[in-house]
Amino acid sequence: MVEWTDFERATIQDIFSKMDYESVGHNALARCLVVYPWTQRYFGNFGNLYNAAAIMGNPKVAAHGVVVLHGLDRAVKNMDNIKATYAELSVLHSEKLHVDPDNFRLLADCLTIVVASRLGTGFTADVQAAFQKFLAVVGAALTKQYH
Amino acid sequence: MSLTAKDKAAVKAIWGKIGGKADAIGHEALARMLVVYPQTKTYFSHWSDLSPGSEEVKKHGKTVMGAITGAVDKMDDLVGGLSALSDLHAFKLRVDPGNFKILSHNILVTLAVNFPGDFTPEVHVAVDKFLAAVSSAIADKYR
């Protein structure tokens, strides 16, 4: 089981309680599609993803970014049981969506960068460590049911 | 994944914005790396103080970022331009190349924190590619 310090718990709750899901979700997913263009393979039906401007302005990307971010809520609310909480979503990503688990790390990195740019100096090294640990645990839980 | 003309222009532009803050950026990126990826501390067992505020971390951050800034002018031939540094890392320092990605990530985070408006997705991908190319050039002589 994952051990969380009081600081880590408080940091995660704090970041998500103050987060602008619409904006952060949109920006994180769009950034992922721009910075790691091969991730576009999962969004063939999203329409125009030809360049950064098109991706940033694409309403399907914006909507889906919010969906993904709200998916993280489950982990925020169940930090002591993330593995079990994500069992179903893991099966979905493996069996239905066929997402290479490497992508979880790529999106996590983009989300880290977006949150860093919003929090500025508030995103200290310790806060960064807690946030990245949280995303790594979520990524591992989403990978758990792959076979 | 080679650097396009657009990538090179974006890298030059953001480095222009960074200007004299390069030393501070290097310091912050290194400090973040040592905290967020504690395994990287194994390369600095000879330092007396590995905390973010230490003089050693500050000085080394400046050294590393200085070399990366120098590489901005060598983008047309990074392997040639960074040859001496590659010798150093391959034969003396022997830093596992996996760590270049880790430091690169922390440089990106530091840029996002300090230049949120300028670090757009297009600048992000250009800098990520540039740092990957620098890392590859540094690792060139490893084997």
Per-residue pLDDT tens over the stretch B63-75: 999 999 999 999 9
The minimum CA-CA distance between B105 and chain A, rounded to whole Å, is: 8
- Report the pLDDT value the prediction gives residue B143, as an integer from 0 to 100: 93
- Tell me how crowded residue A57 is: count the other CB atoms within 10 A of its CB: 11
Interchain CB contact of A117 with B (< 8 Å): yes
- Report the pLDDT value the prediction gives residue B42, as an integer from 0 to 100: 92
Predicted TM-score (pTM) above 0.90: yes
- Tell me how crowded residue B16 is: count the other CB atoms within 10 A of its CB: 9
Average pLDDT over residues B47-56: 95
Domain ranges of chain A: 6-143
CA separation for the pair B100, A20 (Å, rounded): 32
Does A6-143 carry CATH code 1.10.490.10? Answer: yes
Parent domain of B96: 5-139
Average pLDDT over residues B42-62: 95
Check A35 against B112: CB less than 8 A apart: no
Looking at the partner chain, which of A109, A118, A129 has a beta carbon nearest the beta carbon of B35? A129
Long-range contacts of A9-13 (CB under 8 A, 24+ apart): A9/A79, A11/A126, A11/A127, A11/A130, A11/A131, A12/A76, A12/A79, A12/A130, A12/A131, A12/A134, A13/A76
Average pLDDT over residues B130-140: 97
Per-residue pLDDT tens over the stretch B18-35: 999 999 999 999 999 999
Angle, CA of A74, B108 and B18, to the nearest 5°: 140
pLDDT at B130 over 90: yes
Average pLDDT over residues B61-88: 97
Tell which of A113, A131, A133 to mutate to test the B interface (max B CBs under 10 Å).
A113
For B:79-138, CB contacts with A below 8 A are 105, 108-109, 112-114, 116, 119-122, 124-125, 128
Per-residue pLDDT tens over the stretch A135-145: 999 999 999 99
By 3-state DSSP, what share of chain B in percent is helix, strand and coil, each rounded to 5? 75, 0, 25
Tell which of A50, A117, A118 to mutate to test the B interface (max B CBs under 10 Å).
A117
pLDDT at B1 over 90: no
Looking at the partner chain, which of B35, B52, B124 has a beta carbon nearest the beta carbon of A113? B124
- Report the pLDDT value the prediction gives residue A95, as an integer from 0 to 100: 92
Domain count, chain B: 1
Check A31 against B124: CB less than 8 A apart: yes
What CATH number is attached to the domain comprising B121? 1.10.490.10
- Which residue ranges in chain A fall short of pLDDT 50? none
